[in-house]
Amino acid sequence: MRKIEIKIGGLPVVVEVAETSEDRTTGLSGRPSVPPGTGMLFVYERPRKLSFWMVGTLTPLSVAFLDDDGIILKLVDMAKTSTSDSKTGYGRAALEVPLGWFRDNRVSAGDQVEGCPWREASP
């Protein structure tokens, strides 16, 4: 997966971009940790209902659901679990970061993510 730098409230976050079905299915599962200031950006062709689960994911995460403009619509914390309990939201993309990163950096719904690859590609 390619890596890019995005910004939220001026804070840089280096993310891997999951654009294919295979990349989105694998996500961050199996990784022993996700360092602060990094994450994964799940990008979809159009806005839709999105579901995320933690089976096979070794570190707790927080996820932000983003609209076409990169605006955060919803934030959800996800703990490690062995069940298929999923967290859902609606959006064009979802951003996973280490658990608590959004809270610790005072990021909230309504904030904008700069550098979204689908926006950069638009005229």
Short-list 90, 100, 93, 97, CA closest to 118: 93
- pTM of the prediction? 0.90
* pLDDT band for position 123 (cuts 50, 70, 90): very low
pLDDT (tens digit per residue) in 76-108: 998 876 555 678 899 999 999 999 999 999 999
Cα distance between residue 49 and residue 28, in whole Å? 20
Q: Which domain holds residue 8?
A: 3-120
What's the total number of domains in the chain? 1
Strands of 10-117 (E only): list them.
11-18, 38-53, 61-66, 72-78, 86-98, 113-114
Q: How many CB atoms lie within 10 A of CB 19?
A: 18
**Widest Cα–Cα separation across the chain:** 43
pLDDT (tens digit per residue) in 37-87: 999 999 999 999 998 888 788 889 999 999 999 999 999 998 876 555 678
The CATH number of residue 8's host domain is 2.60.120.1140
